[in-house]
Amino acid sequence: MVFKVLCALDTADLDEALSITRKLGGIVGGFKVGHGLVLNHGLDVVDRLTDAGAQRIFLDLKFHDIPNSIALAVREAAKRNVWMMTLHIAGGPAMLEAAVYEARSSGENSPLLIGVSVLTSLDQHILTDLLGVQRTIPDHMVQLSKMAMDCGMDGVVCSPAEVATIRQAIGRQGCIVTPGIRHEMGEAHDQHRVGTAQQALSDGADYLVIGRAITHSPNIETALEEFGFDKLAS
């Protein structure tokens, strides 16, 4: 089993998601569930995927709201035994601390809280010229990631381009989840900052999120081998 790979279920079709889960349940380390599935089917989708063979669910809804609303969201996710979930670090310390408190209060069902700083679909032009952030992407991500860890979060998301920088900034205290994983010559799709699995893991990533490159492949095990996971599996 390739525990480091989290398969992104980038679909709103529950039957498709269940089919992928049955195929990959004993191969990958977990499944990332986003807005498409949850808005269409509610949090019951977590139970359905678990029944289909998903051992760990990564709820990627990128919560960003006032502290009380986020605490309620974390509480509901914990009731479903969600393994990991994302929050926007830009929500600020009070929001993050409320989420951490609620997660820890859920006992053994406590989900891992992962902070999102700069989406992999953004580039420096968008960040600076359109969003008004004067830091470089790496500098902005470092500042937000350190704040997240100071608030008690369990880890952060970053693209392959920033893994080494973020790992140096937060040390080994938090885990790093990395989307934007592609083959050497693979398509970037709607993400600007992408990289290879080998480089991301070498730089310090703990988990790699891969979606279309494996779920749309006619031979999933071959697709994983092309990423080099025959050597990197653990």
Catalytic positions: 62
User: Any residues with CB less than 8 A from the CB of 125 and at least 6 apart, and which?
Assistant: none
User: Any residues with CB less than 8 A from the CB of 229 and at least 6 apart, and which?
Assistant: 2, 4, 5, 197
- 59 backbone dihedrals φ, ψ, rounded to 5°: -85, 105
Q: How far apart are CA 155 and CA 33, in angstroms?
A: 18
For 188, other C-beta atoms within 10 Å of its C-beta total 12
What are the C-alpha distances in Å from 206 to residues 8, 18, 155, 176?
16, 25, 10, 5
Contact by Cβ (8 Å): 110, 103: yes
- 8 backbone dihedrals φ, ψ, rounded to 5°: -85, 120
Q: How far apart are CA 127 and CA 81, in angstroms?
A: 35
